[in-house]
Amino acid sequence: MSRTVLTGARILAGSSFVEGRALVIDGDRIAALVKDSDIPGDCERIALGGGDLLPGFIDCQVNGGGGVLFNDAPTVEGIKAIGAAHRRFGTTGFLPTLISDDLSVLDKAIDAVEEAIALHVPGVLGIHLEGPFLNPSRAGIHDRARIRKIDDAAVERLTRLYGGRTVVTLAPECAAPGTIKKLVSNGAVVCAGHSAATYEETNRALAEGLSGFTHLFNAMTPFTSREPGMVGAALSDLKSWCGLIADLHHVHPASIALALRTKPPEQFFLVTDAMPTVGWDKTTFMLGATPITAKDGRLTGPDGTLAGAHLDMATAVRNMIAGVGVAPEIAAAMASASPAAFLGLGAVRGRIAPGLAADLVHVNRAAGDGMDVLATWIGGVRA
């Protein structure tokens, strides 16, 4: 395969931006980062004309996009449509996310993701199963009628995906001792969410192999003076990862800023929790029998319950910069290097470095409100 060199943009290499450098792509990998004066002569040159070149965004929680809800279309075509909608906003890797549903739908979703990976559908890294093994008291918009207890048969069912990552969100207090350990031993990445677990129960789950928290602050026990709750356990544990929905509706900017002071910023990653309205021209859709409406950037059911998010990753990064006050290089890493590390993929993607996947996003400038996506590459292929 021919080599390509991208020139003329500031490049986020590691933890800082560099200028006067060009990025060499060889096939589906990053080959080198060289001085402009040292560009190899056998490369096709693409002049970016300014802006910033960032690692492609990785979204671990994508319920839908482009008018498609994964629960309604657990198929390869549904996954393609969702991926295409989010790629416009810089997402080059994602986990189609199934919220609580019947086990037959869960089976179809796993089969579809496995087929999509085998067919090399751009960006598909695995699946996120958010339920149905949750606490009904913290169900949020999830259908309580579909929530159930997890058992050994479910552990086998949840961990049968071949060739990709499986993230399982569950309520640890509703799982028998040893369940999380079995899931992890079978290759799953286990997160806590939609849970009423106490601080002590959460710490026991962490000791068993729990490694993440789904949409920190939302649908979990809060931090209070005499009960630190799941939020307190999440922020106290320096090794676990916390997902954040940075639409500035799910979590107040001050709460995000405070969380980032409690543990290293690389232990936080941005998610969209996106629904079909992202990359779509309509503002309403059906979640089962419940009508969901987007208004002023919020997605809600008839009673005002938040129902996922009308959020893309580029907007999440912008919000972290302009709304929370995070440095552009840190905000971009929270959308790339951090989720890659969370998934155990940090050695192959999520950063701009030789040998890693050529998954990239070109923006006009990572400076808050003015940041727009101009182009993306997945495995060296531009769209």
To the question of pTM greater than 0.85 for the whole model, the response is yes
Burial environment of residue 282 by CB neighbours within 10 A (0 to 12, 13 to 18, 19 or more) = exposed
- Based on the domain organization, do 197 and 214 belong to the same domain? yes
Distance CA 6, CA 375 (A): 12
Question: CB under 8 Å to 227, separation ≥6 — which residues?
Answer: 198, 199, 221
Question: CB under 8 Å to 117, separation ≥6 — which residues?
Answer: 124, 126, 163, 164
Residue 212, SS3 per DSSP: strand
* Residue 42: per-residue pLDDT: 83
- Based on the domain organization, do 164 and 281 belong to the same domain? yes
- Based on the domain organization, do 69 and 98 belong to the same domain? yes
* Residue 61: per-residue pLDDT: 98
- The DSSP 8-state label assigned to residue 309 in this structure reads B
pLDDT tens per residue, range 199-222: 999 999 999 999 999 999 999 999
Distance CA 353, CA 368 (A): 24
- Based on the domain organization, do 243 and 208 belong to the same domain? yes
Distance CA 83, CA 62 (A): 9
* Residue 372: per-residue pLDDT: 93
Q: What is the CATH number of the domain that holds 265?
A: 3.20.20.140
* Residue 153: per-residue pLDDT: 95
Q: Which residues of the chain have pLDDT under 50?
A: 1
CA dist list (Å): 102 to 24, 63, 71, 97: 47, 16, 10, 14
- Based on the domain organization, do 17 and 85 belong to the same domain? no
Please give the biggest Cα pair distance in the chain.
Answer: 66
- Based on the domain organization, do 358 and 251 belong to the same domain? no
Going by C-alpha positions, the residue among 141, 248, 238, 264 that lies closest to residue 193 is: 141
The residues carrying an active-site annotation are: 273
- Based on the domain organization, do 278 and 190 belong to the same domain? yes
- Based on the domain organization, do 103 and 28 belong to the same domain? no
Provide the token pair at 363. 């923006």
Given a contact cutoff of 8 angstroms between Cβ atoms, the answer to whether 121 and 84 are in contact is no
* Structural domain that includes position 26: 3-54+351-382
What is the number of structural domains in the chain?
A: 2
- Based on the domain organization, do 265 and 181 belong to the same domain? yes
Given a contact cutoff of 8 angstroms between Cβ atoms, the answer to whether 132 and 101 are in contact is yes
Provide the token pair at 88. 């416009």
Q: Which residues of 284-314 are buried (b: 16+ CB within 10 A; e: fewer)?
A: ebebbeeebebeeebbbeeeeebbbbbbbbb
* Residue 37: per-residue pLDDT: 85
Given a contact cutoff of 8 angstroms between Cβ atoms, the answer to whether 338 and 269 are in contact is yes
* Residue 367: per-residue pLDDT: 65
- Based on the domain organization, do 193 and 224 belong to the same domain? yes
- Based on the domain organization, do 82 and 143 belong to the same domain? yes
Given a contact cutoff of 8 angstroms between Cβ atoms, the answer to whether 334 and 313 are in contact is no
Q: What is the CATH number of the domain that holds 49?
A: 2.30.40.10
- Based on the domain organization, do 134 and 161 belong to the same domain? yes
